[in-house]
């Protein structure tokens, strides 16, 4: 299993002051029960004391990204996601995601244990509307007062909130790309899907900041510029000409 992380911006023992965003990717098979299989996740966390207009030029974040080489590593992936979530939950940190209920369901379907931190997260997700101190914020369901358009797809919410999230990595579907990776072990596929996943985690964190300020930025924020500054030393793909074209 690949694992990449950067704690330089904010070490784990400092995340009490941070927000944490989570995103999970999985191969989809709706024909059988439990057919959705996770292959990649990322946590992003940073101190939320930052103004929306300063995000593109100044935001530095810490991240943890995990990605499996084969389906035999799914259990290890799920255990690692749970282990990290346990650390974050122990500090009462706000967990942010997009349609978190689906990510939680896939994790629990592929977990060998019923008593996981994701079980706790599931209960908190369902009770978040009635909890004045909720530990969860879901950008699909909890931003209605700021949004006017009907679509609640992540990419459409980002566009409405003036976040530039161009994602050229996606060719066909993530399921097709990951199944191809299982066959050929192409590192470029791994890097592209990992960066795509981190972009999703980063986007939901930025949406929360916009929601918190209760205003959509007038100038478009190029999310890929933020990714480049924070990931260029970790992924060859981010240093490629193809990714550079996203920065202009």
Q: Tens digit of pLDDT for each residue in 81-108?
A: 999 999 888 877 899 999 999 999 999 9
26-52 per-position pLDDT tens digit:
999 878 887 899 999 999 998 877 888
How many whole angstroms separate alpha carbon 131 and alpha carbon 143? 16
Is 16 exposed, middle or buried (CB count within 10 Å of its CB: 0-12, 13-18, 19+)? Answer: exposed
Question: Which residue segment(s) compose the domain that 62 sits in?
Answer: 2-247
Residue 142, both tokens: 């909890």
Q: Count of domains in the chain?
A: 1
> What percentage of residues in the chain have a pLDDT greater than 90?
76
107-133 per-position pLDDT tens digit:
999 998 776 899 999 999 999 988 766
DSSP 3-state assignment of 65?
strand
Check pLDDT > 70 for residue 159.
Answer: yes
DSSP 3-state assignment of 140?
coil
Residue pair 209/50 in contact (Cβ under 8 Å)? The answer is: yes
192-221 per-position pLDDT tens digit:
999 999 999 999 999 999 999 999 999 999
Check pLDDT > 60 for residue 15.
Answer: no
Residue 33, both tokens: 């029960």
> What percentage of residues in the chain have a pLDDT greater than 70?
94
pLDDT at 76: 95
Check pLDDT > 70 for residue 234.
Answer: yes
Nearby residues of 80 by Cβ (< 8 Å), 6 or more positions away? 1, 3, 66
Alpha helices in the chain (DSSP H): 55-58, 74-89, 100-109, 117-127, 154-160, 174-184, 187-213, 223-231, 241-244
Q: Would you place residue 16 in the very low, low, confident or very high pLDDT band (cuts 50, 70, 90)?
A: low
CATH number at residue 107: 3.30.420
pTM exceeds 0.85, yes or no: yes
């Amino acid at each position: 299993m690949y694992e990449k992380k950067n704690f330089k911006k904010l070490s784990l023992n400092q995340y009490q002051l941070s927000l944490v965003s989570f995103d999970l990717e999985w191969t989809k098979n709706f024909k059988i029960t439990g057919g959705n299989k996770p292959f990649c996740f990322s946590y992003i966390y940073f101190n939320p004391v930052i103004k929306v207009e300063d995000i593109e030029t100044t935001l530095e974040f810490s991240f943890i990204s995990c990605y499996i080489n084969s389906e035999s590593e799914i259990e290890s992936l799920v255990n690692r996601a749970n282990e990290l979530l346990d650390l974050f939950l122990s500090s009462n940190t706000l967990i942010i995601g997009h349609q978190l209920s689906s990510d939680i369901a896939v994790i629990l379907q592929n977990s060998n244990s019923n008593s996981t931190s994701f079980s706790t997260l599931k209960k908190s997700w369902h009770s978040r509307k009635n909890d004045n101190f909720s530990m969860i914020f879901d950008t699909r369901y909890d931003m209605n007062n700021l949004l006017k358009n009907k679509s609640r797809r992540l990419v459409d919410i980002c566009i409405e909130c003036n976040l530039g999230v161009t994602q050229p990595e996606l060719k066909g579907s993530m399921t097709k790309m990951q199944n191809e990776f299982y066959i050929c072990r192409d590192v470029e596929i791994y890097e592209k899907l990992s960066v795509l996943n981190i972009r999703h985690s980063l986007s939901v964190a930025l949406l929360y900041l916009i929601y918190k300020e209760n205003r959509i930025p007038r100038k478009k924020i190029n999310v890929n510029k933020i990714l480049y500054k924070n990931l260029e030393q970790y992924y060859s793909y981010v240093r490629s000409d193809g990714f550079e074209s996203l920065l202009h």
